[in-house]
């Protein structure tokens, strides 16, 4: 089969799944990040700093795992060159001894914005970000004008190189050489997650919603237009690829607080992206069961939910009509399971797929051994065999 035809076949399969139509088989999206490097014999420093090695790794995965239908852009690997240039310590690739970590380390940005600065942020979010938040996170911009503006310009050039070499060029190579589509064409975060991740830290935002409710609500509203712009600016309309949106704080909030603080801009974001005829792909970390009633209010058959774990059957039943659910074998099971356990997961997923649409994905951070490759291969083969269509399988993976 020509690469063009293969590419189109994969795109059609993913698109059908996103639209809740039945594709010819279970589509498989492979949510690898640094594992592409481990698999190809590179460490995370190679991946973060050396764009040709990064591309080589992803291309090798695409070559060796032809069952896969889509790979995410390499954003998850993170750009070491950019963090070095901006003098950031938020992502750590190697220890003090210079030895690369086995996995990328994400350190909390923490208390970048102080508790009393909400009004200043709300009055002019962009100004606050450029003049206060970024210089505090990245020392390279912590300079008086005009040096700071100059630093931004220099940074823009490094960033442009990164986007070109690690994202655009890799995406083109994957498509042309391997017939492999990209799972995402853009990304954003929900405003309240931005405040947690980049402004106030986890404890900070948790305390703020208890102590300055109105400010948090107003700040989320003030930030919303910028985060929506990040999602859809310069992005073409179309069902597939999706817009990746990792959801971070929701499952730490009681539903009442979720409704008050998170839901208003969350709902608005989803509606706005869907209005542009794009598909939000929500990375639903943690246990979302307490929030299913909210999810049911999202536009039907327009949103994808990436889930790590949970009661898949219940999930399908409760929110499967609204969300296309992507999920599968948890990483720990991949790392340590027997072949039988992997087969069992594949059975469950294939069976649930028949209830509507189910995608498979699997996440970063598993080991580099050949054993893993074998397990994955067997798992994929089982997924693709479609043996379990309409066959109810025993199901006991509730809390894995």
Partner 1 sequence: MNEKYQVIVDALGELEEDKFLDAIKELLEADPSAENAEQIVNACALGMEKVGEYFEQNEYFVGELIYAADILQNGFDLVNPYLSEEDASKKLGTMVIGTAPGDLHDIGKNIFKSMMEAAGFVVHDLGVDVKPEAFVEKVKEVKPNIVGISGLLTLSLDTMGDVINSLKEAGLRDDVKVIIGGNPVTEAAMKRVGADAYSTNASTGVKQCKEWVGA
- Total site size for partner 1, rule CB under 8 A: 31
- In the complex, the smallest distance separating the C-beta of residue 332 from partner 1, rounded to whole angstroms, is 6
Binding of partner 1 by 293 (CB under 8 A): no
Does 202 engage in binding with partner 1 (CB under 8 A)? yes
Q: Which residue in the set 45, 77, 245, 331 belongs to the binding site for partner 1 (CB under 8 A)?
A: 331
- Contact with partner 1 (CB under 8 A): which of 44, 209, 245, 315? 209
Among 2, 144, 153, 210, binds partner 1 (CB under 8 A): 210
- Answer yes or no whether residue 69 interacts with partner 1 by CB under 8 A: no
Question: Site for partner 1 (CB under 8 A): which residue of 292, 365, 385, 395?
Answer: 365
Does position 373 bind partner 1 by CB under 8 A? no
Rule CB under 8 A: say whether 367 interacts with partner 1: yes
Residue 31 or 175 having the CB closest to partner 1? 31
105 binds partner 1 (CB under 8 A): yes
Q: How far is the CB of 261 from partner 1 (least distance, A)?
A: 10
107 touches partner 1 (CB under 8 A): yes
Taking CB under 8 A as the rule, does residue 311 contact partner 1? no
Of 70-78, 161-169, 198-206, 273-281, which segment contacts partner 1 by CB under 8 A?
198-206
Q: Provide the minimum distance between the beta carbon of 33 and partner 1 in the complex, in angstroms, as a whole number.
A: 12
Kindly report the three-state secondary structure assignment for every residue of the chain: CCHHHHHHHHHHHHHHHHCCCCCCCCCEECECCCHHHHHHCCCHHHHHHCHHHHHHHHHHHHHHCCCCCEECCHHHHCCHHHHHHCCCCCEEEECCCCCEEEEEEECCCCCCCCHHHHHHHHHCHHHHHHHHHHHHHCHHHCCCCCHHHHHHHHHHHHHHHHHHHHHHHHHHHHHHHHCCCECEEEECCCHHHHHHHHHHHHHHHHHHHHHCHHHHHHHHHHHHHHHHHHHHCCCCCEEEEEEEEEECCHHHCCHHHHHHHHHHHHHHHHHHHHHCCEEEEEEECCCCHHHHHHHCCCCCCCEEEEECCCCHHHHHHHHCCCEEEECCCCHHHHHHCCHHHHHHHHHHHHHHHHHCCEEECCECCCCCCHHHHHHHHHHHHHHHHCCCCCCCCCCCCCCC
CB closer to partner 1 out of 15 and 34:
34
Residues forming contacts to partner 1 in the complex (CB under 8 A) are: 92, 95, 101-103, 105-108, 202-203, 206-207, 209-210, 251-254, 257, 286, 290, 331-332, 335-336, 365-367, 399-400
């Amino acid at each position: 089969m020509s690469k063009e035809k293969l590419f189109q076949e994969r795109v059609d399969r993913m698109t059908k799944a996103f639209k809740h139509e039945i594709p010819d088989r279970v589509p498989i999206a492979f949510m690898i990040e640094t594992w592409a490097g481990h698999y190809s014999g590179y460490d995370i420093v190679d991946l973060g700093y050396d764009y040709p090695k990064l591309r080589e790794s992803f291309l090798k995965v695409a070559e060796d795992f032809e069952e896969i239908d889509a790979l995410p852009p390499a954003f998850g690997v993170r750009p070491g060159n950019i963090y070095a240039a901006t003098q950031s310590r938020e992502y750590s690739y190697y220890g003090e001894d210079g030895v690369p970590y086995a996995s990328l380390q994400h350190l909390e940005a923490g208390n970048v914005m102080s508790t009393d600065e909400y009004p200043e942020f709300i009055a002019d979010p962009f100004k606050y970000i450029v003049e206060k938040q970024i210089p505090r996170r990245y020392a390279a911009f912590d300079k008086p004008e005009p040096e700071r503006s100059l630093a931004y310009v220099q940074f823009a050039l490094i960033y442009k190189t990164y986007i070109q070499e690690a994202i655009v060029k890799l995406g083109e190579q994957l498509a042309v050489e391997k017939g492999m589509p990209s799972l995402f064409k853009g990304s954003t975060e929900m405003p309240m997650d931005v405040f947690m991740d980049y402004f106030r830290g986890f404890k900070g935002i948790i305390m703020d919603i208890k102590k300055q409710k109105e400010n948090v609500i107003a700040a989320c509203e003030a930030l919303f237009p910028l985060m929506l712009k990040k999602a859809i600016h310069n992005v073409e309309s179309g069902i597939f690829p999706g817009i990746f949106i990792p959801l971070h704080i929701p499952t730490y909030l009681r539903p009442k607080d979720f409704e008050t603080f998170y839901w208003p801009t969350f709902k608005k974001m989803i509606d706005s992206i869907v209005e542009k005829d794009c598909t939000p792909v929500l990375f639903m970390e943690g246990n979302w069961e307490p929030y299913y009633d909210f999810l049911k209010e999202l536009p039907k058959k327009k949103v994808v939910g990436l889930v790590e774990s949970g009661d898949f059957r219940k999930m399908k039943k409760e929110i499967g009509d609204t969300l296309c659910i992507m999920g599968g074998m948890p990483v720990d099971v991949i790392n340590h399971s027997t072949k039988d356990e992997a087969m069992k997961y594949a059975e469950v997923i294939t069976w649930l797929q028949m209830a509507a649409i189910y995608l498979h994905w699997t996440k970063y951070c598993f080991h580099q051994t050949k054993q893993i490759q074998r397990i994955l291969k067997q798992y994929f083969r089982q997924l693709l065999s479609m043996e379990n269509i309409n066959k109810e399988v025993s199901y006991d993976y509730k809390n894995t």
